[in-house]
A and B are shown apart, each in its own frame.
Chain A
Amino acid sequence: MIRSHVLICAGTGCTSSGSKAVREALEKELVRRELDSEVKVVQTGCFGLCALGPIMIIYPEGTFYSRVTEKDVPEIVEEHLLKGRLVQRLVYNDTGDGSEDKSNPVSLNETGFYKKQRRVALRNCGVINPESIDEYIAMDGYSALGKALTGMTPDEVIKLIKDSGLRGRGGGGFPTGTKWQFAANSVSDKKYVVCNADEGDPGAFMDRSVLEGDPHAVIEAMAIAGYAIGADEGYIYVRAEYPIAIERLEIAIAQAREYNLLGKDIFGSGFNFDIQLRFGAGAFVCGEETALLTSIEGNRGEPRPRPPFPAVKGLFGQPTIINNVETYANIAQIILKGPEWFASMGTEKSKGTKVFALGGKIMHTGLVEIPMGTTLREILFEIGGGIPNGKKFKAAQTGGPSGGCIPASLIDTPIDYDSLISIGAMMGSGGLIVMDEDTCMVDIAKFFLEFTVDESCGKCVPCRIGTRRMLEILDRITSGKGEEGDIEKLEELGNNIKSTSLCALGQTAPNPVLSTIRYFRDEYEAHIKEKRCPAGRCKALASYTIISDACRGCSLCSKKCPVGAISGEIKKPYVIDQSKCIKCGVCMETCKFSAIEKK
């Protein structure tokens, strides 16, 4: 008889920090201690607190252990599972208010990281075993599909989704119910349901976590969508770089077929639906819906002009709905709990919750799901644990290379679709990259633009050539060769590219540049006019000098300097010859007296 469940995260984050070895060691140790018939080990999806992985939760107590290694396993088995005593040094107990008492563990929902979260799309991640359809069913899985097929008309399903106010979670924020309505209205004997799991934004991994932690939620929602619009075939387009997600999807699809939750005559309703996987080869543009459809068709992933929209003429020329993973992950809950429940969360025009991937200069790197309208301050400082090393918050980038930055002065902006657009950023798929005072905003704009230049498919001129010209200007500015008028050129080019590109890749590529100019114009000006990088990131603009009062004349820096730019007499202040200096920074790292400064 099982008396305890040990949940171990098997998401990508914890897998890379060694959760598989922990699981194997635990299973072995349980056999050795003859506890294997009393304690069940369950692998789950992502808990969200990726920075503290591998993560382990032991029920019924609900004890949360973080950074568990193989070596900790014998102690956990002996102390916790056998004797019922906490392994205090591993307990994660940060309530976010500074009071940490390891001997008195708080429940997961009381920790600072979780207490403001509201998990809808991630509800089963970290709770069930994603490779067990039975556990999904135990959590009301497939009952939304059953309810729709046996008790609702397709129109009723669409109306319900419309009433909930759900908007697409992939970035654009188009109302999901309206999209379904368009596809349902299109007359054709063949229609398709597509899931966009080609998550390409640097720093975004919420779709991966849903697929890894709760793959059946996506499958169930796609079947519901198929019923709503009259489609019998679905495709999930997932990145080949997500091997764990692919494996779990394959297992989940096989299990659903076995239970006849995919296949013919589901729930005896006469409705047929099946799903196939297609793997993306890693082109960012394939996350754009028309390029994705072109890629599924077996062609080179290039976007096509809209209209016609996919709802009219999509995959193989047939009416198609294409939604993002996170959008699908909300559907079953909306059907079961009602549109009013969903609409009670969030703001007037942005209902429900949104998952964000926190990355960059933040304590708790990981996944968080919050009601729409939560402020950036709450996300960063209450849930995210603030900025490490006592640094100051400077800006956050939302929407990855398609989005924009939110400066510190707007930290109290409620996060929803419309307020982000109004400040020149966008929701995007939910990557949230945090930057501290050491980040150069010109450099970060260049980083994102480099990405889009690389990923431009080359089909249309503004995107292919325009973004490259912008990058050349940024290169010039960051290497100290910026010219008067460069900022204006960037703005003009950027606005033209936005209005003339064929697809969303080009239409949004200038955003990081335009939004950093909007909020950090002074930094651009400092680079161009004073040839100075205020954050000290742009190497070509840095200059190292020795503070003569602090220099003891130890000569260490001059010995380490690779180009012999530092000279002087022992026990007297040394000097750096600026014409020889290559700005490598070795002298500063070497100096024991902090006598070298970088400007």
Chain B
Amino acid sequence: MKTLAELAAIKAKMQEKVAMREGAASTRIVVGMATCGIAAGARPVLNAFVEEINKEGLFDKVTVTQTGCIGICQFEPVVEVYTPDNEKVTYVKMTAEKVKRVVSEHIKGGNIVSEYTIGNAK
């Protein structure tokens, strides 16, 4: 190693890999992963969130976790987003495609994608 810049480059590259262990991220994305959720395709949704969050470099601000069944199985895959102000938004019938919009518009932009929320579910 000849320069501090080389060290900084390794650090930057690695940070996203260990940031998860620091905890204390302010926004939480919780994917319903009970049998009903998994059957409806929650796994690709979960992975899409992880991928998008990392791609956007939001890994130190957002955690993606799973939870069990919240009782609205007909709307699975269900995703709940908790923002720092402790507001909860519930998205239903999620797909990997919808994930991209939620991340860019809601997580990054702060605008809820209301057409995917439970309030607009049919």
Identify the A interface with B (CB < 8 A).
1-5, 7, 38, 59-62, 82-85, 107, 127-128, 134-135, 137-140, 142-143, 146, 150, 259-261, 265-268
Task: State whether the Cβ of B81 lies closer than 8 Å to any Cβ in chain A.
Answer: no
Chain A residues, Cβ within 8 Å of B30? 84
**Contact A3 to B47, CB < 8 A, known contacts A84-B66, A146-B7:** yes
Question: Is the Cβ of B23 less than 8 Å from the Cβ of A59?
Answer: yes
Complex: A160 Cα to B51 Cα, angstroms = 43
Residues of chain A contacted by B17 (CB below 8 angstroms): 2, 135, 138
B55 to chain A, nearest CB (A): 9
Assuming A1-B51, A84-B31, is B68 touching A128 (CB within 8 A)? no
A4–B2 Cα distance when bound, in Å, is: 34
Q: Which residues of B contact A85 (CB under 8 A)?
A: 34, 67-68
Q: In the complex, A210→B107 CA distance in Å?
A: 39
What residues on B are CB-neighbors of A146 within 8 Å?
4, 7
A138 touches B64 (CB 8 A): no
Residues of B within 8 A of A62 (CB): 23
Out of A3, A59, A150, A265, name the residue touching B21 (CB < 8 Å): A59
Contact A260 B1 (CB under 8 A): yes
**Given A60-B23, A83-B66, A134-B10, residue A1 in contact with residue B1 (CB < 8 A):** no
Contact partner of A3 (CB less than 8 A), chosen from B10, B23, B50, is: B50
Please give the distance in Å from A32's CB to the nearest CB on chain B.
Answer: 15
Chain A minimum-CB-distance residue to B3: A268
18 contacts between A and B (CB under 8 A): A1-B51, A2-B17, A3-B47, A61-B63, A83-B35, A83-B38, A83-B66, A84-B30, A84-B33, A84-B67, A85-B67, A137-B14, A140-B11, A142-B1, A143-B11, A259-B1, A260-B2, A261-B1
State the total of A-B contacts with C-beta under 8 angstroms: 90
Q: How far is the CB of A17 from chain B (nearest CB, A)?
A: 23
Taking the complex as formed, is B65 at the interface, i.e. its CB lies under 8 A from any CB of chain A? yes
Report the minimal beta-carbon distance from B119 to chain A, rounded to whole angstroms.
24
Question: How far is it, in angstroms, between the C-alpha of A84 and the C-alpha of B68 when the chains are bound?
Answer: 6
B94 interface residue (CB < 8 Å to A): no
Partner of B65, one of A60, A150, A260, A261: A60
Please, which residue of chain A has its CB at the minimum distance from the CB of B10? A137
Partner of A128, one of B1, B4, B18, B64: B18
Interface string of B56-91 (1 = CB under 8 A from A): 000000011111100000000000000000000000
Q: Does chain A have a CB within 8 A of B114?
A: no
Q: Are B47 and A1 in contact (CB under 8 A)?
A: yes
Q: Are A265 and B2 in contact (CB under 8 A)?
A: yes
* Contact between chains at A107 and B20 (CB < 8 Å): no
Known: A83-B68, A84-B67, A137-B11. 19 other contacts (CB 8 A): A1-B47, A1-B51, A5-B20, A59-B21, A60-B23, A60-B25, A82-B66, A84-B32, A84-B68, A127-B21, A135-B14, A137-B14, A138-B10, A138-B15, A143-B7, A146-B7, A259-B1, A266-B1, A267-B1
Q: Which of A4, A59, A84 counts the most chain B CB atoms within 10 A?
A: A84
Cβ contact within 8 Å between A267 and B2? yes
Which of B14, B51, B68 makes the CB contact (< 8 A) with A138?
A: B14
Q: C-beta contact mask, B15-29 vs A, less than 8 Å → 1, else 0?
A: 101101101010000
Asked if B3 contacts A267 (CB within 8 A), the reply is yes
Q: Quick one: which of B15, B21, B38 contacts A82, CB cutoff 8 A?
A: B38
**Quick check: is B40 within 8 A (CB to CB) of the other chain?**
no
C-alpha gap A246/B85 in the complex (Å): 48
Contact across chains for B3 and A1 when beta carbons are under 8 A apart: no
Q: Which of A59, A134, A261, A265 contacts B14 (CB 8 A)?
A: A134
Residue of A4, A5, A7, A138 near B11 (CB, 8 A) is A138
Complex formed: what's the CA distance from A107 to B25 in Å? Answer: 13
B111 located at the interface, meaning its Cβ lies under 8 Å from any Cβ of chain A in the complex? no
Decide if A1 touches B54 in the complex (CB within 8 Å). Answer: yes
CB-contact partner of B20 in A38, A60, A83, A260, under 8 A: A60
